[in-house]
């Protein structure tokens, strides 16, 4: 993997770059499309490619439970299994192990203000279903959200799963704490995450030594530390000294202090390596993240809300189930170049949702993903053209209406 910065924002951390992976190039900043279970819900890989998506992120926890990482390996790895020809990523399963069962379901968000992520506040805690989860120095015991069966993840296990899945970019296994965790617990969890990061690197190098050079994966370390400035900075300093290929910024955030948190971290992380803000990426989040040095975003929200009929437009979100759209024969968003907006009206989408037709979720997902993927691409262009702040103001003034 190779990362090259093309242009930087003056007096800011933001930049535009090119990330070259073994299976294709990602122009950054970029939105990473989420295909948790080796599928972007309701879309075929052709549709995903046609809307401009460059890279897909799947999840180690989900694929380990179903159909099993060894089966994916047997199928030729994630790309071959899901028929996606471009670059791929997997996340370590850390967030899911600590929040799932607990945070599983449609209300999951990493923004603490909206819903609280029910991660641990101490070493043993109950998830949403009242099941006890236990963290020890070596790893974490948890129950499958599918059938309640017992499992154990260690840093080594997560890396082994991600090697079996075979994505271009993989992540270190970290502890994702609750935003309600106090300073003392955050500090303890952070130190454990740093020890786990070293173990992830060691096991990655051990497994990698057996691979041909054409199959080498890039490993990103994860910075944690919650909302505490000194912990975030400490984490960034410690993780940046380790031999990672790039970095993820994990954990949960209050929306109001998300950008300062990201800024603290990115001032410390080495400039020449890519940075991924994990699980964040709605339109209003992108500008602040990019300005503060984020290169990659992933977020399930655009496709999740699409399946419920909520669509992005340049003037803000609309809900297509609103009765005024029943007889509105204009496109979903007249400024949008996506397949859905080029060919279908608001009235037709409204009908599909009311009739509970599967095509509703497909067309809405195409639109929302196109909107986000191309908004990030436009932000990239604005950086290259020296017009970032102008574009940010124009977009946000209109989007907030």
Which tokens in the block code for residue 348? 């037709």
Q: Are 328 and 347 in contact (CB under 8 A)?
A: yes
Told to check if 363 binds Zn ion by CB under 5 A, we report no
Smallest gap, in angstroms, from Cβ of residue 32 to Zn ion? 20
**Interaction with Zn ion in 73-132: which residues (CB under 5 A)?**
none
Select 112 or 341, whichever has its Cβ closest to Zn ion.
341
Told to check if 72 binds Zn ion by CB under 5 A, we report no
Smallest gap, in angstroms, from Cβ of residue 307 to Zn ion? 15
Measured from the Cβ of residue 211, the count of other Cβ atoms closer than 10 Å reads 12
Q: CA 400, CA 217: separation in Å to the nearest integer?
A: 40
Told to check if 231 binds Zn ion by CB under 5 A, we report no
Told to check if 276 binds Zn ion by CB under 5 A, we report no
Smallest gap, in angstroms, from Cβ of residue 339 to Zn ion? 8
Smallest gap, in angstroms, from Cβ of residue 385 to Zn ion? 24
Measured from the Cβ of residue 334, the count of other Cβ atoms closer than 10 Å reads 9
Binding range to Zn ion, per CB under 5 A, among 6-14, 214-222, 339-347, 388-396:
339-347
Number of shown-chain residues binding Zn ion (CB under 5 A) = 5
Running DSSP on this structure, what letter comes out for residue 111? Answer: B
- Write the CB contacts of 375 (distance below 8 Å, at least 6 apart in sequence): 31, 283, 286, 395
What is each CA distance from 134 to 119, 254, 380, 391, in whole angstroms? 12, 26, 43, 47
Smallest gap, in angstroms, from Cβ of residue 153 to Zn ion? 39
Select 159 or 364, whichever has its Cβ closest to Zn ion.
364
Binding range to Zn ion, per CB under 5 A, among 10-18, 201-209, 247-255, 359-367:
359-367
358-384 and 346-354 are packed helices; what angle lies between their axes, rounded to 10 degrees? 140
The helix (H) or strand (E) run that includes residue 221 is strand 218-223
Long-range contacts of 160-164 (CB under 8 A, 24+ apart): 160/69, 160/203, 160/207, 161/60, 161/63, 161/64, 161/69, 161/93, 162/60, 162/69, 162/90, 162/92, 162/217, 163/204, 163/207, 163/208, 163/217, 164/69, 164/70, 164/72, 164/73
Binding range to Zn ion, per CB under 5 A, among 42-50, 127-135, 228-236, 329-337:
329-337
Catalytic position from the list 69, 91, 285, 295: 91
Select 306 or 383, whichever has its Cβ closest to Zn ion.
306
Smallest gap, in angstroms, from Cβ of residue 343 to Zn ion? 10
Told to check if 336 binds Zn ion by CB under 5 A, we report yes
Running DSSP on this structure, what letter comes out for residue 345? Answer: B
Select 249 or 376, whichever has its Cβ closest to Zn ion.
376
Please, is 150 exposed, middle or buried when counting C-beta atoms within 10 Å of its C-beta (0-12, 13-18, 19+)?
exposed
Told to check if 338 binds Zn ion by CB under 5 A, we report yes
Question: Strand 169-171 and strand 310-313: pairing?
Answer: unpaired
Told to check if 194 binds Zn ion by CB under 5 A, we report no
The 123-152 site mask, x for binding Zn ion (CB under 5 A), equals: ------------------------------
Q: Which stretches of 298-357 are DSSP H helices?
A: 301-307, 339-343, 346-354
Active site residue 243: no
For Zn ion, the binding residue among 1, 133, 320, 341 (CB under 5 A) is 341
Smallest gap, in angstroms, from Cβ of residue 51 to Zn ion? 9
Q: CA 4, CA 134: separation in Å to the nearest integer?
A: 41
Binding range to Zn ion, per CB under 5 A, among 131-139, 228-236, 292-300, 331-339:
331-339
Catalytic position from the list 127, 245, 295, 298: 298
What is each CA distance from 83 to 18, 39, 286, in whole angstroms? 24, 10, 29
Smallest gap, in angstroms, from Cβ of residue 371 to Zn ion? 6
Select 72 or 340, whichever has its Cβ closest to Zn ion.
340
Q: CA 177, CA 401: separation in Å to the nearest integer?
A: 35
Select 258 or 341, whichever has its Cβ closest to Zn ion.
341
Active site residue 298: yes
For Zn ion, the binding residue among 110, 232, 367, 380 (CB under 5 A) is 367
By three-state DSSP, how is residue 96 classified?
helix
Which tokens in the block code for residue 43? 């879309």
**Interaction with Zn ion in 41-70: which residues (CB under 5 A)?**
none
List active site positions.
91, 298
* Positions in the binding site for Zn ion (CB under 5 A): 336, 338, 340-341, 367
């Amino acid at each position: 993997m190779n990362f090259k910065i093309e242009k930087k924002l003056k007096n800011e951390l933001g930049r535009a770059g090119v990330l070259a992976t073994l299976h294709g190039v990602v122009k950054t900043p970029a939105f990473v499309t989420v295909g948790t279970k080796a599928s972007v819900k309701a879309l075929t890989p052709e549709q995903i490619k046609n809307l401009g998506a460059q890279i897909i992120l799947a999840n180690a926890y989900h694929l380990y439970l179903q159909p099993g990482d060894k089966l994916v390996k047997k199928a030729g790895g994630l790309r071959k299994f899901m028929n996606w020809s471009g670059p791929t990523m997997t996340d370590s399963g850390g967030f899911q192990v600590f929040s799932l069962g607990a945070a599983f379901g449609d209300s999951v968000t990493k923004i603490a203000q909206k819903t609280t992520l029910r991660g641990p506040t101490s070493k043993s805690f109950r998830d949403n279903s009242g099941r006890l989860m236990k963290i020890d120095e070596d790893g974490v015991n948890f129950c499958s959200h599918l059938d309640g069966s017992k499992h154990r993840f260690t840093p080594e296990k997560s890396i082994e799963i991600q090697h079996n899945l075979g994505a271009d970019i993989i992540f270190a296994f970290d502890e994702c704490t609750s935003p309600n965790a106090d300073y003392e617990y955050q500090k303890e969890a952070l130190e454990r995450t740093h020890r786990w990061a070293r173990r992830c690197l060691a096991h990655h190098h051990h497994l990698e030594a057996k691979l041909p050079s054409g199959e080498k994966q890039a490993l990103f370390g994860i910075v944690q530390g919650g909302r505490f400035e000194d912990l975030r900075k400490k984490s960034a300093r410690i993780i940046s000294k380790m031999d990672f290929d790039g970095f993820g910024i994990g954990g949960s955030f209050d929306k109001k202090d998300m950008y300062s948190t990201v800024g603290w971290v990115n001032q410390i992380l080495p400039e020449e390596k890519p940075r991924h803000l994990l699980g964040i990426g709605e339109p209003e989040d992108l500008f602040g993240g990019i300005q503060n040095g984020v290169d990659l975003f992933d977020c399930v929200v655009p496709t999740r809300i699409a399946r419920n009929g909520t669509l992005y437009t340049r003037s803000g979100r609309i809900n297509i189930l609103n009765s005024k759209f029943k007889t509105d024969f204009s496109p979903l968003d007249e400024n949008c170049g996506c397949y859905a907006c080029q060919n279908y009206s608001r009235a037709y989408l409204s009908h599909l949702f009311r009739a509970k037709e599967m095509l509703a979720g497909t067309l809405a997902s195409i639109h929302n993903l196109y909107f986000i993927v191309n908004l990030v691409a436009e932000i990239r262009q604005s950086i290259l053209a020296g017009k970032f702040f102008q574009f940010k103001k124009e977009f946000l003034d209109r989007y907030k209406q």
